[in-house]
């Protein structure tokens, strides 16, 4: 966006101001407790009121009411960028008492629908998420990768390396993946290694994973690298045989598309993904991998064996994925849609 407009980013940070690649970055207060977020919202409200920007593009649903106030009382052009199906995500929150999840989900669904109609526009990332918003002032903009981020140098694949990128959580199928890895090792892949790039969000789950690794005797077959910068992750993907995204069928997982799917494709690495509708459409159209029942470790192991047993076909899958990124699933096309949408909402906003 900085190529076409003056762009400011406001986000929690340890600094007050930086400028990177023409983007002005303004720090917001850091937070440790939930109540600290009130200070962030107050500061955001102050900045919006003082700003003379043409468009305000926000992601966090807790800012919805602030955005509505800015639109109604100050005639600001407010765009809500929806990355998740939040009502469904609420149903998966273990920290909410089970009996309250459905009522809270229904209330937030109504709240989000009403607020979104009072804003200038809504951007969503998949058509299933978009069904909840008015088609008159909403658009699907997918978070596809930049072509410039693609790896041009062909990497030599490590024949015994798989990769998992992203947060390490239960609902992303990490337990089932470890069990599948054990099945692979017990069959004919004793040297197989799973490289994990990401971090834990729950100490209890980390202990559960470590205990399972000990029980399954997988310590020599798994490598945890923690959180890494983007430029370090891509070469690791490029040298791996298969990129894994076997999320479990929780409500929000089914309706969203993870970035890692396209990151694997952009690096020329074959993909093993959950057999969800949205995932399957991408995999089948691009012919870049296989889909699997993510809840069944045996099925995961069998599909991995099928892919690894045919190196030529596996390489073709990787090449197909990379070509699909170049031809369709890249940010160039989405950028054009976003710029046109900006023009549309500016034209239709009340001044």
What would be the CATH architecture of the domain defined by 7-146+331-348?
3-Layer(aba) Sandwich (3.40)
> pLDDT tens across 243-280, in order?
999 999 998 899 999 999 999 999 999 999 999 999 99
The pair of three-digit structure tokens given for residue 345, joined into one six-digit string: 């909402």
DSSP 8-state secondary structure symbol assigned to residue 192: -
How high is the pLDDT of residue 350?
55
How does DSSP assign 110-134, residue by residue? HHHHHHHHHSSEEEESSHHHHTTS-
How high is the pLDDT of residue 149?
66
d(CA 60, CA 63): 6
Locate the domains of the chain by residue range.
Answer: 7-146+331-348, 147-327
Can 7-146+331-348 and 147-327 be said to share one CATH topology? yes
77 within 8 A of 54, measured Cβ to Cβ: yes
Mean pLDDT by 10 residues, the chain (351 residues): 84 91 91 85 95 95 96 95 92 89 96 96 94 93 81 74 96 96 92 95 95 96 93 92 96 90 94 96 97 97 96 95 93 91 86 50
d(CA 239, CA 269): 8
> pLDDT tens across 98-109, in order?
999 999 999 999
How high is the pLDDT of residue 147?
78
DSSP 8-state secondary structure symbol assigned to residue 80: E
Is the CA virtual torsion 323, 327, 329, 330 positive or negative?
Answer: positive
CATH fold for the domain made of 147-327: Rossmann fold (3.40.50)
Cβ-proximal residues to 41 (8 Å cutoff; 6+ apart), any chain: 62, 63, 66
Residue from 216, 215, 214, 213 nearest 196 by CA: 213
């Amino acid at each position: 966006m900085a190529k076409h407009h003056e762009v400011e980013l406001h986000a929690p940070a340890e600094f007050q101001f930086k400028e990177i690649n023409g983007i002005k970055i303004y720090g917001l207060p850091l937070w440790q407790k939930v109540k600290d977020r009130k200070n962030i919202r107050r500061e955001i409200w102050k900045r919006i009121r003082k700003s003379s920007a043409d468009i305000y593009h926000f992601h966090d649903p807790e800012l919805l009411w602030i955005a509505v106030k800015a639109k109604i009382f100050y005639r600001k052009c407010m765009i809500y960028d929806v990355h998740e199906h939040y009502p469904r995500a609420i149903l998966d929150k273990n920290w909410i008492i089970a009996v309250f999840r459905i009522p809270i989900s229904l209330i937030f669904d109504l709240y989000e629908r009403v607020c979104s109609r009072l804003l200038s526009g809504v951007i969503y990332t998949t058509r299933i998420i978009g069904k909840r918003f008015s088609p008159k002032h909403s658009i699907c903009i997918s978070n596809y990768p930049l072509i410039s981020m693609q790896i041009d140098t062909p990497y030599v694949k490590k024949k015994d390396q798989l990769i998992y990128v992203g947060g390490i959580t239960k609902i992303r199928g990490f337990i089932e993946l470890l069990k599948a890895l054990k099945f692979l090792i017990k069959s004919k892949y004793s040297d197989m290694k799973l490289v994990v790039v990401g971090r834990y969000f729950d100490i209890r789950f980390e202990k559960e994973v470590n205990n399972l690794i000990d029980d399954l005797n997988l310590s020599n077959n798994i490598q945890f690298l923690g959180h890494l910068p983007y430029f370090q992750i891509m070469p690791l993907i490029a040298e791996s045989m298969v990129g894994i995204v076997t999320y479990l069928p929780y409500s929000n997982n089914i309706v969203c598309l993870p970035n890692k799917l396209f990151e694997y494709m952009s690096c020329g690495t074959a993909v093993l993904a959950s057999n969800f509708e949205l995932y399957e459409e991408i995999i089948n159209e691009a012919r870049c991998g296989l889909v699997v029942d993510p809840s069944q470790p045996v099925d995961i192991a069998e599909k991995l064996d099928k892919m690894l047993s045919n190196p030529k076909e596996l390489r073709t899958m990787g090449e197909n994925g990379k070509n699909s990124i170049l031809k369709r699933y890249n940010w160039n096309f989405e950028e054009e849609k976003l710029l046109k949408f900006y023009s549309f909402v500016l034209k239709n906003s009340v001044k």
